[in-house]
Structure 1
Amino acid sequence: MPCYFYILFSKEADKYYLGHTCDCLEERVRKHLSNHKGFTGKNKDWRLVYQEEFESKSDAFARERQVKSWKSKKKITELISEKP
């Protein structure tokens, strides 16, 4: 089963959300859009803007930590714009 590192974007909040999952990616995005108390629960316009597939959860999580360590919206935007 593939795992994913993914990036969501909310235009309303002008923020990115970075995550990883081994579930169906579409289902995970749907959960972010549902009513909940987490970070993504505040806005309802999150959309998937980037994804990378990995063979293991640990690899997907490592990539998430790597990108989060950049602490740079500009670098994340550049990563998204480089995707084919």
Structure 2
Amino acid sequence: MEEFVVYILFSEKFNKNYTGFTYNLIERFKSHNLLATKGHTVKYRPWKVIYVEFFDSKTDAIKREKYLKTGIGREFIKNIINSL
């Protein structure tokens, strides 16, 4: 059974965060920090993982990712960053 992960990345250098979901966090993290050659996350390297949540279904992971991108979700993320 696949497990899905919603994750939040933070770039201290640029004070930026990124929220996404995947079924393979380690490979996705490598992509964000090393492998990707274009896209939003390339501009703000290096990233560190500051938060993860695990889900049994892709649907639930997508719902949570979308929630974290709302105003309330962004406040949640801001509180995580402020506690670092």
TM superposition score normalised by structure 2: 0.82
Q: What residue number does 2:10 align with?
A: 9
Map residues 15-54 of structure 1 onto 2, 5 A cutoff. 15-22=16-23, 24-33=24-33, 34-54=35-55
| Cα displacement (A) at 1:74 | 4.0
Superposed CA RMSD in Å reads 2.2
CA–CA distance in structure 1, aligned partners of residues 39 and 18 of structure 2? 11
Judge which range, 73-82 or 60-69, deviates more. 73-82
* Equivalenced residues, count: 81
Q: Structure 1, unaligned stretches of length 5 or more?
A: none
Q: Secondary structure at 2:77's aligned position in 1?
A: helix
Deviation at 1:71, TM superposition (A): 6.5
Q: Given that residues 21 and 28 in structure 1 are in contact (C-alpha distance below 8 angstroms), is that contact kept between their aligned partners in structure 2?
A: yes
Structure 2 stretches lacking a partner, 5+ long: none
**Percent identity (aligned):** 37
